[in-house]
């Protein structure tokens, strides 16, 4: 009961008062008005430090560790401690909603409570453009982030949400023994879906065998390039950009209705926000694939050489991957992505892209 009452109180702060539900993020402080009421204002002594972190992440494409080193070299001071660490940088980036002027609750609720997010009454530190660019950058980096563990980690991508799928091991009983089998699971979609490693292996080998049928890979590359880019890449890019604008407009309208009216079901609100978020991530993933295809097209000789390496080495590396899992994983991550999609209760391979 106390938990539910506390939850309702925090929701009221977000939906009605448009205030932070708990502690202020680093970069903001309270200033008390003459009547004793607290007002949130930007801590100008650290605002530029926060903006610098976003510039390094988006403008110079640095990772968390590299940003921490740069911040220490520039003499910027963190919220706690003497020096910046990668986790401190990560926490600043995680607060992008707040720094863009929003207040949220249940952003990462373990109990499945619905997300509440609205435009706050505090001054933003970063622009809305920076906020949107961060979401796009995270989507793109998630597709190329090196996976850990199994050989297929980091190469299997959910075509719905755009995120790479995580390797998981499960067991079944056979002859009195526990036998492991491995799956790739999407942890972002609801409901979650997964696909076995054996299905991924079969699809990869079939794709590589098709490559082996081409003595001259330039013809195959030309056909694949046209299929990837879809003829007119610029028109497809305009289509994706227009869809992103539509998704953002729907999200803003939903937020306005949720804040201004008190009768919208929070579960419905959370589900709709999640759906729009997945659609946005999927669109950014499509844009990233289009950009990659167009970039590869500018270096035909290098692309054909990569295809030749896949054709000549791919089957042997996949079939013997357990002998050197790390080497197989790094090689696969450098040259291929497998896109999968849930269909009628199962997950199927949608397409394979050689990169």
Contact 309, 303 (CB under 8 A): no
Quick one: pLDDT at residue 172? 75
Q: Which of 99, 20, 87 is nearest to 52 (CA)?
A: 99
What's the confidence (pLDDT) of residue 146?
Answer: 40
Look at strands 38-42 and 28-32 and give their pairing: antiparallel
CATH topology for 2-126? Hect, E3 ligase catalytic domain fold (3.90.1750)
Domains of the chain, residue spans = 2-126, 143-354
Residue 119 has pLDDT above 90, yes or no: no
The Cα–Cα gap between 27 and 47 comes to 6
Q: Residues 215-224: what's their mean pLDDT?
A: 52
pLDDT at 316: 81
pLDDT at 335: 79
Q: What is the pLDDT of residue 21?
A: 54
pLDDT the model gives residue 109 = 44
Q: CA dihedral defined by 212, 214, 218, 219, rounded to 10 degrees?
A: -140
Residue where the block lists tokens 């942890």: 187
User: How far is Cα 55 from Cα 58, in angstroms, rounded to an integer?
Assistant: 5
Please tell me the distance from the alpha carbon of residue 256 to that of residue 261, in angstroms, as a whole number: 8
pLDDT of residue 93: 94
- Residue 229's pLDDT is 43
Alpha-carbon gap, residue 183 to 162, rounded angstroms: 18
Rg of the chain taking only CA atoms, in angstroms: 24
Q: Could you read off the pLDDT of 158-180 as tens digits, one per residue?
A: 988 888 898 888 777 777 787 78
Q: What is the pLDDT of residue 141?
A: 62
Q: Does the structure show a pLDDT above 50 at 206?
A: yes
pLDDT of residue 130: 94
The overall average pLDDT reported for the chain is: 77
d(CA 231, CA 234): 9
pLDDT class of 222 with cuts at 50, 70, 90:
low
Instruction: Supply the DSSP string of 101-119, one letter for each residue.
Output: TEEEE-TT-TT-PPPEEEE
In whole angstroms, how far apart are CA 198 and each of 151, 162, 216, 336?
12, 22, 30, 17
Position 318 scores a pLDDT of 81
What pLDDT, on a 0 to 100 scale, did the predictor assign at position 194?
92
Q: What is the pLDDT of residues 329-346, one digit of tens each?
A: 887 887 788 999 998 888
CB 123 within 8 A of CB 99: no
pTM over 0.85: no
Q: How many Å apart are CA 145 and CA 63, to the nearest integer?
A: 11
Q: What is the mean pLDDT of residues 239-249?
A: 87
pLDDT at 2: 33
Could you tell me if 330 and 155 are in contact, meaning their C-beta atoms sit under 8 angstroms apart? no
Highest averaged pLDDT of the listed ranges 16-25, 230-239, 259-268? 259-268
pLDDT tens-place string over residues 16-47: 444 565 578 899 988 888 887 778 899 999 99
Segments in the chain forming alpha helices (H): 2-12, 44-59, 64-74, 86-94, 96-99, 128-144, 197-212, 217-229, 233-260, 266-297, 300-319, 325-335
In this predicted model, which residue has the larger pLDDT, 42 or 188?
42
């Amino acid at each position: 009961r106390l938990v539910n009452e506390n939850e309702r109180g925090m929701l009221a702060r977000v939906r009605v008062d448009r205030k932070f539900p708990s502690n202020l993020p680093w970069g903001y402080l309270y200033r008390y008005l003459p009547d004793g009421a607290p007002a949130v204002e930007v801590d100008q002594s650290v605002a530029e430090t926060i903006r610098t972190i976003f510039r390094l992440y988006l403008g110079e494409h640095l990772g968390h560790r590299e940003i921490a080193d740069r911040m220490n070299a520039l003499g910027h001071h963190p919220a706690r401690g003497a020096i910046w660490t990668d986790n401190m940088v990560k926490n600043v980036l995680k607060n992008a909603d707040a720094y863009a002027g929003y207040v949220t609750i249940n952003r990462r609720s373990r109990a499945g409570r619905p997300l509440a997010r609205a435009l706050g009454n505090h001054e933003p530190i970063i622009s809305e453009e920076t906020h949107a660019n961060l979401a796009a950058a995270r989507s793109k980096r998630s597709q190329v982030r090196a996976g850990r563990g199994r050989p297929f980690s980091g190469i299997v991508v959910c075509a719905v949400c755009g995120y790479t799928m995580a390797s998981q091991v499960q067991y079944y009983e056979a002859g009195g023994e526990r036998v492991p089998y491995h799956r790739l699971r999407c942890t972002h979609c609801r409901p979650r879906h997964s696909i076995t490693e054996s299905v991924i292996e079969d699809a990869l080998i079939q794709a590589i065998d098709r490559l082996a049928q081409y003595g001259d890979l330039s013809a195959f590359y030309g056909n694949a390039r046209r299929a990837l880019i879809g003829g007119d890449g610029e028109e497809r890019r305009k289509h994706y950009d227009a869809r992103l604008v539509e998704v953002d407009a729907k999200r803003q309208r939903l937020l306005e209705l949720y804040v201004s009216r008190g009768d919208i079901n929070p579960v419905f609100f959370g589900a709709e926000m999640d759906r729009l978020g997945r659609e946005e991530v999927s669109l950014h993933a499509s844009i990233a694939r289009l950009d990659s295809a167009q970039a590869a097209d500018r270096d035909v000789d290098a692309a054909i050489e990569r295809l030749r390496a896949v054709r000549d080495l791919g089957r042997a590396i996949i079939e013997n991957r357990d002998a050197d899992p790390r080497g197989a994983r790094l090689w696969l991550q450098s040259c291929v992505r497998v896109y999968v999609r849930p269909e009628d209760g199962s997950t199927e391979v949608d397409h394979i892209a050689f990169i």
